[in-house]
Structure 1
Amino acid sequence: MNKWVGAAAICINSDGQLLMVLQGKPEEEKRWSVPSGGKEQDETLEECCVREVYEETGYRCKINKEIKGKSGAFGPVEYHVTYFEVEILGGQPTIHDPDGLIYDIAWKTSEQLNDLCFSFPEDKEFLLQYIEQRTLN
């Protein structure tokens, strides 16, 4: 079985909105996700996360903390994704995605998340709870 390892960024702004990207292959229906992607050779998961945020959104960020991991299988591929809380340091919303899979960048409220079509539907409840937890603190 093949193995895929990657990182995902959870970034919530001062208005309680989550940074999201609209993604998909050209022939697929486009769906929303947090910035994420696969780890490259000789790269740490933290470096992967920071790189993916920049490539997919144009924002420079730093890692605040690791939040959780998610593992499973998609067909013949086993995957493990590590989710990190990140903080924006600068940059402008610009797509630099070398894979050409990102179509939009947006900050979404909890209410808007409820109506979105997610690339990874299993993340929706976790993201809503995380936003709620962060905005209560």
Structure 2
Amino acid sequence: MERSRELVNELLERACVVGQADDGLRIFCKSDGGYAVTPEKYKVPVVVDAMVKTDSTNIRLRFREGAVILNWENNKDELRWHDPISGKEVGVRGKGRVPENEWIRIVWRIDESSASLIVDGEERCRFEGDYRDAAGQIGIGSEDPDGIITHVSWRTPDEVSGCSHAYPEDREFLIDYMTSKRQTER
């Protein structure tokens, strides 16, 4: 968890205010485009793993031109998907709602040919695409002043094997998944 806090402290503010709270990191975005973002760019394959909660709307993850939005302010039941390459928006009915005032785990996996979003172990969406040359900053945001993040991490396959992951049960799965994707591409 300590490394997770260090990573969170590295985030840069983009039209948002980031501050430490007792139970995690609090992000208040001043506008619809506000995110806390990584200082560096990451190249796929990448896994974004976050523990978050909100008391109302808008849990947002971002990578390059892409974004995923849960509890979208215009329709909480619709997951909003923005393609990482084109930014094209797609609504996924019945997959956007998450509980309010409860911690949830979000995992966004992007590899060379697909991207998926998993919320508390349930795959909410999967899209195929050519993401092999995608690289960009990773961001997280909320329009909600009470959007709280306790843990966020982003890793490449090589980094996963050496990190003290908050979810040890996932380490082997992530390493196997990312290694197999690299081997099939060679």
TM (normalized to structure 2)? 0.31
TM-score calculated relative to the size of structure 1? 0.39
Rg larger in structure: 2
